[in-house]
Amino acid sequence: MTFTDLLAAFQLPFIMRGLLTMLMLAAAASIIGLFVSFRDLEFVTDGLVHAVFPGLVIGYIIGGSALLLPGALVAATIAVVLITLLTQRGKLGNDAAVAVILTSAFSLGIVLVSRQQDYVSALNALLFGHLLTVTATQLIALSCVALLSVLMILMTWRRQIFRAHDVSGFRAAGYSVLATDLILGVAIAFLIVAGVQALGNLLVTALLIVPTAAARQLTNRLWGTVLLAFLITAFASFVGIAFAIWSSFALGVNTPAGAAVVLALIAIYGLTLLPSLARKLQSRKVAQ
């Protein structure tokens, strides 16, 4: 399969929708992922991904794929409120609150989905997604949810920056830490929901964490990080989808496009670490 054939394949409607889905998610994740990184919320984000799972299952049981999004939105909102309240009121440490909600929610989802006759295929779809089967209707719905999550952050942008860098000063200035944390948490949860149908429950975490982590290796500028995170995800999306197409036609291997995109992201992140590793090795040699 030649490179020209690969480019021609991207003109197919279902592949184009998959790429557009990733570009939409990349734009939203580059903004929201910035605060995930600034606030060290990687574990919280992973917990929210798992907490969304029972909502996906309940939505699937009630109305099939049509109710996946509403079910996930309800579950995500409940999880954010519970985690934030437990943490803010000092009932549990941040990690403990996430762990309790993560394990209970994910276990509930597994119990519910196991009651279905075709639960193995249903579980596979919910966990790993189907990037290249996103319909036009789903793309519009996911875009609306992602846009809503970005608007939450942009409308509270200065407050979120202030909260991330100086929580004591933030409180002294009279701002509500609880309200600000809830807004960020809901924004993260909504973007997770937007990405679940494309990448699945287990892979969507990488979208919010890896591109920003890679971008921060290359720049310390705020909007530079956002732009680089978007470009990294966009490039990884093209490479991952192209590899999935190539492996299917040239090798006869059915490679999930979403997983291929995530692997491309991780490979790029590994490359961004090389300069810093080289500097550390050089400094050790000089010290010796």
Contact between residue 152 and residue 32 where contact means Cβ atoms under 8 Å apart? no
Tell me, what's the pLDDT at 49? 77
Contact between residue 109 and residue 57 where contact means Cβ atoms under 8 Å apart? yes
Q: What are phi and psi of 153, to 5 degrees?
A: -75, -45
Rounded Cα distance, 85 and 99, in Å: 14
Q: Look up residue 262 and give its two tokens.
A: 């995530």
Tell me, what's the pLDDT at 277? 80
Cα distances from 198 to residues 127, 193, 214, 235, in angstroms, run: 10, 10, 22, 17
Tell me, what's the pLDDT at 98? 65
Rounded Cα distance, 116 and 125, in Å: 13
Query: Band of the pLDDT at 21, cuts 50, 70, 90?
Result: very high
CATH number at residue 7: 1.10.3470.10
Q: Which of 17-31, 60-74, 171-185, 258-272 has the lowest mean pLDDT?
A: 60-74
191-246 pLDDT per residue, tens: 888 887 777 766 788 888 999 999 999 998 989 999 999 999 999 999 999 998 88
Tell me the average pLDDT of the chain: 82
Task: Give the rounded percent of residues in the chain with a pLDDT score beyond 70.
Answer: 84
The yes-or-no verdict on residue 156 having pLDDT over 90 is yes
Q: Look up residue 42 and give its two tokens.
A: 């990687």
103-133 pLDDT per residue, tens: 777 677 767 766 666 555 555 666 666 788 8
Burial of 42 per CB tally in 10 Å (0-12, 13-18, 19+): middle
Q: Considering the entire predicted model, what is its pTM?
A: 0.84
Checking phi first, is residue 2 left (phi over 0); if not, alpha (psi -120 to 50) or beta? beta
Amino acid at 285: K
Q: Look up residue 20 and give its two tokens.
A: 């557009």
Rounded Cα distance, 149 and 189, in Å: 8
CA 261 to chain centre: 12
The boundaries of the domain holding residue 253 are: 3-287
Tell me, what's the pLDDT at 84? 78
Rounded Cα distance, 9 and 12, in Å: 6
Tell me, what's the pLDDT at 116? 62
Domain count, the chain: 1
Tell me, what's the pLDDT at 27? 94
